[in-house]
Structure 1
């Protein structure tokens, strides 16, 4: 809990000290469990026009991919999934539920995923993002990802297919914003 204190600015308070408490929510990033899949799938369905199926999430957990959920006061607000191999990591999915956006949770979760990638020996992290998702692209750029290419017609879209912007970040110890 953070507290701020100041002297009362007006007469009538007798110069009393006013204390204001600001309670920050408890944010936890923990491993995704099979019993999280209903909630994770619901967030995915609410977030994307072409969502992953529940089976894809289950396969990722069962395959041992680093799968994580971000909880706010014990409630799952988002999730992220990595694939690791050969000194590289790939962000397969990163999502914050619609009701939780705009609070810095995506940045927090991305930071943890990058930490996990680094702790597992990755020197470079890749991801794909839709051109129609400029907020996600801006987040990735703000932590140092750069566009390295495109995958034509990679994503399903309402009007057919949409390219994927391929982005990469070289990571070394202590270069990730917290």
Structure 2
């Protein structure tokens, strides 16, 4: 009988040892070569990742620095627009002081126009008066300096000694008021 050993064609034998054929090295040397190549590839990726990280960190630091500079500039020059609106008011007041005509009505008219300039500038920047006559005392907007007998309800503002001011909804200076005593 014939032996049942199978005969493997030479082409199949070559396919069974791909490491030897592809690199021309024995299997252990091929594995070491693949590991060295993989290490070199990973080192390259690590170097690229470090570079990207450093660039991203530098960009973040630049953005933070720019934000700080912008905030400092905004704080430093925030009043610039308001100051520009105040200059004509100052000019008008100086002209009124220089007037030597002695005409009281002309001077009063000029001061009235100057006050209108000032009110216009205040409105432009949401600076408004707090004039609470007849309102209930609000400790957030009013400062009671005295109490008097009055027909009004208790804690009602009956007289304003000094107007208060607010910017938008924030109180800049509370109004100094006189309130009614309880009956």
Structure number with higher relative contact order (C-alpha < 8 Å, ≥ 6 residues apart): 1
Larger Rg: 2
Kindly indicate which of the two structures has a greater share of residues assigned to strand: 1
Q: Give the TM-score range, shorter chain.
A: under 0.3
Q: TM-score, normalised by structure 1?
A: 0.25
Q: TM-score, normalised by structure 2?
A: 0.25
